[in-house]
Structure 1
Amino acid sequence: MMKKPFVFLFMLFMTLTLIACSQSKKTPQSKPYKPAENFTFENEFPVKRIPNFPRAAESYFSPDGKSIICQAKMDDDTAYHAYTATIDGKNIRRINDKGEDACNFYFPSGDKIVWTSTRDHLDMPKGDWSDSTQYPQGAELYISDLEGKNIKRITNNKYYDAEVSVSPDGKWILFGRQINGNMDLWRMKSDGTEEFQITHTPDWQEGGAFYMPDSETIIYRAWKKEYDGQRRKPMTIFTIKHDGTGLKQITHDDGTNWAPYPHPDGKHFAFVKVLPPSDPAIPMPNFEIFMMNLETGKQTRLTYFDGFDGFPSISPDGKTLMFSSSRATPPGERALQLFLMDISNFKD
């Protein structure tokens, strides 16, 4: 599962990066990639890389904080698949080897996972995960054990079903569904029954949703449908109750605010803002991770790498931020890798 506009934004980033690299003989990069094992930039909390994943995007912690599940592409893969591993990058296990996988998430029990795949619709057009007008309509949701066995398919409609997560109390599965070009938020019981449509907005495209710690409030991002196909689209972060009431706008600027992920304290969330490039001579967008206080509205910047830092998630104890970044990627290459930031001393 990539939360699909994230893929779109990353592809934009990499395209502009390649342009920038072609100009590098005339204009030096403002901050080069980090070839050494020190991946912490000035003003950042300590950062280290999770090894053994040459390409990885979204990633999430297990309930005990000792393992991760991610969307990754290993050297012998022809597509991205769901993988699990220990937090130190060992004991890597591929969950599925058919079709293409996207979003994935742990159940709070720690013994099951939910994931997105096109595995049962290989005869359908592949679509384009990076273009909301061409999302793979054969993307379905599955539940399995941690070894990728005992697979249970929980959607069967040939729509785009993805961007999936699970409520902290384990009772609800939250996901995005696209019908006739319209994206909305849906939920179902943890056994795949009783689907319920949360949002009904023909003029907005919702997705990238997660439950807050109360297992009732949902935080998500959305953009206006008129921006479909636009590379740099404004995105807004909202919260809503999972019965569809209590809609509240959280960000109020015209920029790109996306990838919100709740802090376990229920008062903060991590998210990504797209900032102007620090060096105007290089047309490379700057994706940075922030922490926002839901009560005060204060935004605190966490990453300071002039490139791509995105897909944030937070450990169950609130002490570690996991994210994907191009900070270790040599110029000209197109890959994200996984990193951990120690945010145990974060204060706003």
Structure 2
Amino acid sequence: MKYTYILALFIFISACNRTEQVSEDTETLTDSVATADSLLYPGEKHFRNIRQLTFGGDNAEAYWSFDGNKIVFQSNFTEWGVECDQIFYANVATANLGNEKPPMISTGMGRTTCAYFLPGDSTVVYASTHLGGESCPEEPARDAGRYVWPVYDSYDIFVTDLNGTTVRQLTNEPGYDAEATVSPKGDKIVFTSDRTGDLELFTMNLDGTDVQQVTNELGYDGGAFFSPDGTKLIFRASRPKTEEAISEYKELLSQGLVKPTEMELFICNVDGSDLRQLTNLGKANWAPFFHPSGEKIIFSSNHAGARGFEFNLYMINIDGTGLEQISQDEVFDSFPMFSPDGTRIIFSSNRNNNGTRDTNLFIADWVD
């Protein structure tokens, strides 16, 4: 409620400072922009004309098509007839996801994650556990205040068309293969796998051939994205250093779990060379994506929060300087991705969820 009040007051004060000699068309346009931006929090100067796309459930990891006209995302919205995350796509300009179910392109079995359009925008790569069982895999219990993510060993990476027909299976190694994203050059896929006994980054061709290991340090390496020119990777990683931290990491991984509460961002060339740590903020820094310039990274972090669950979007230069807070949420903003032309951004947020735990998708014009 207080955000609505503050924003309304801000709009009123701004309107008072405008010239009184405005045309009727201008007044109409001003009202339209104010309505569109009523989903913004004060201080979010990089967003304009924000639009909410989904209205229930947990909707996340929404990524643009190469032509910027479609998105693919995962959702567990029960009103769409799913019990855990499945993959959907939508045409951005015409989607009305508050009133109608978008096309589901995963099998509807198992659990899915991390879908991404392939060149041509007629096929999508994603990870699924459906070969390990038709039911949703069991989620880990939260005990003694420990928050963990599951690393299901039944995840493999598949390609589907927009009719939901599986085109091919890209991975068939034992263990976890997931978190696939595609280079803007359209020639490579990066993904996370534990096939070496640790969670490392790998690249492969679009048909699953020529698998190359990128990282090799102990710790979870994941959520990688290519730079706009396809030469670099940005990703999140844990790097346990103490004997206790190393022991905990290995024990959890043996149970198919990782603890995501201490992660920093790392950057390297696609072949793994020139690897360096980009952030040193503490807590959880993740969901990084390159700014269209290739010189900055947008990401989600709770480093400034007091309670651990206040995640906001931040921007940082690729040399580690110039940290800037982008969003101003008191709960959760994450999974930012710029459109291919750099004019729009999509992200997931708890804003406007009427006090529920729903996480919805939002699109905004981007203002540098």
> Fold conserved (TM > 0.5)?
yes
- CA deviations on 1:86-131 (whole Å, 9 max, x unpaired) are 1143482101212111111011322221001011110799254873
Give the alignment partner of residue 131 of structure 2, picking from 120, 128, 143.
120
Residue 31 of structure 2 aligns with which residue?
A: none
Aligned: 1:341 with 2:341: no
Which one-letter code corresponds to 1:80 in the other structure? Answer: D
Aligned: 1:261 with 2:289: yes
Residue 354 of structure 2 aligns with which residue?
A: 330
Residue 237 of structure 1 aligns with which residue?
A: 265
What CA distance in whole angstroms lies between the structure 2 residues aligned with 1:196 and 1:232? 25
CA contact (8 A) 2:157 2:177 kept: yes
Aligned: 1:166 with 2:199: no
Give the alignment partner of residue 190 of structure 1, picking from 191, 202, 206.
206
Higher relative contact order (CA 8 A, sep 6+): 1
CA RMSD of aligned residues (A): 2.7
Aligned: 1:99 with 2:110: yes
What CA distance in whole angstroms lies between the structure 2 residues aligned with 1:111 and 1:263? 25
The more displaced of 245-254 and 293-302 is 293-302
- CA deviations on 1:192-230 (whole Å, 9 max, x unpaired) are 1121111111x2211010111221211111012427468
Aligned: 1:69 with 2:72: yes
Residue 235 of structure 2 aligns with which residue?
A: 220
Q: Which is higher, the Rg of structure 1 or of structure 2?
A: 2
The more displaced of 254-263 and 75-84 is 254-263
Judged with a 3 Å threshold, the aligned counterparts in structure 2 of structure 1 residues 253 and 125 are, in CA distance, closer, same or farther, namely: same
What CA distance in whole angstroms lies between the structure 2 residues aligned with 1:128 and 1:186? 26
Judged with a 3 Å threshold, the aligned counterparts in structure 2 of structure 1 residues 339 and 266 are, in CA distance, closer, same or farther, namely: same
CA contact (8 A) 1:31 1:306 kept: no
Give the alignment partner of residue 80 of structure 1, picking from 74, 80, 85.
85
Aligned: 1:209 with 2:224: yes
Please give the residue correspondences for 1:50-65 in structure 2 after superposition, counting only pairs within 5 Å: 50-51=53-54, 54-65=57-68
Structure 1 residue runs without a partner (length 5+): 1-28
Report the Cα offset of residue 290 of structure 1: 1.2
Aligned: 1:252 with 2:280: yes
Please give the residue correspondences for 1:27-42 in structure 2 after superposition, counting only pairs within 5 Å: 38-42=38-42
What CA distance in whole angstroms lies between the structure 2 residues aligned with 1:219 and 1:284? 23
What CA distance in whole angstroms lies between the structure 1 residues aligned with 2:136 and 2:113? 16
CA contact (8 A) 1:101 1:116 kept: yes
CA contact (8 A) 1:275 1:285 kept: no
What CA distance in whole angstroms lies between the structure 1 residues aligned with 2:300 and 2:290? 12
Task: Give the TM-score normalised by the residue count of structure 2.
Answer: 0.76
Report the Cα offset of residue 311 of structure 1: 1.0
Residue 161 of structure 2 aligns with which residue?
A: 145
Residue 316 of structure 1 aligns with which residue?
A: 340
Identity %: 28
Is the partner of 1:93 in helix, strand or coil?
Answer: coil
Aligned: 1:110 with 2:138: no
Which one-letter code corresponds to 2:223 in the other structure? Answer: G
Judged with a 3 Å threshold, the aligned counterparts in structure 2 of structure 1 residues 284 and 135 are, in CA distance, closer, same or farther, namely: closer
Report the Cα offset of residue 241 of structure 1: 1.5
Report the Cα offset of residue 275 of structure 1: 4.0
Considering fraction of residues, name the structure with more helix: 2
Which one-letter code corresponds to 2:274 in the other structure? Answer: G
Residue 20 of structure 1 aligns with which residue?
A: none
Report the Cα offset of residue 152 of structure 1: 0.6
CA contact (8 A) 1:314 1:321 kept: yes
Aligned pair count reads 309
Task: Give the TM-score normalised by the residue count of structure 1.
Answer: 0.80
Judged with a 3 Å threshold, the aligned counterparts in structure 2 of structure 1 residues 51 and 205 are, in CA distance, closer, same or farther, namely: closer
Which one-letter code corresponds to 1:207 in the other structure? Answer: G
What CA distance in whole angstroms lies between the structure 2 residues aligned with 1:232 and 1:139? 19
Which one-letter code corresponds to 1:67 in the other structure? Answer: K
CA contact (8 A) 2:114 2:127 kept: yes
Which one-letter code corresponds to 2:104 in the other structure? Answer: R
CA contact (8 A) 1:71 1:101 kept: yes
Report the Cα offset of residue 256 of structure 1: 2.3
CA contact (8 A) 2:179 2:222 kept: yes
Judged with a 3 Å threshold, the aligned counterparts in structure 2 of structure 1 residues 302 and 144 are, in CA distance, closer, same or farther, namely: same
What CA distance in whole angstroms lies between the structure 2 residues aligned with 1:32 and 1:179? 49
Give the alignment partner of residue 297 of structure 1, picking from 311, 318, 321.
321
Report the Cα offset of residue 266 of structure 1: 1.1
CA contact (8 A) 1:112 1:143 kept: yes
The more displaced of 86-95 and 54-63 is 86-95
Judged with a 3 Å threshold, the aligned counterparts in structure 2 of structure 1 residues 127 and 198 are, in CA distance, closer, same or farther, namely: farther
What CA distance in whole angstroms lies between the structure 2 residues aligned with 1:236 and 1:284? 15
Is the partner of 1:110 in helix, strand or coil?
Answer: coil
What CA distance in whole angstroms lies between the structure 1 residues aligned with 2:224 and 2:173? 21
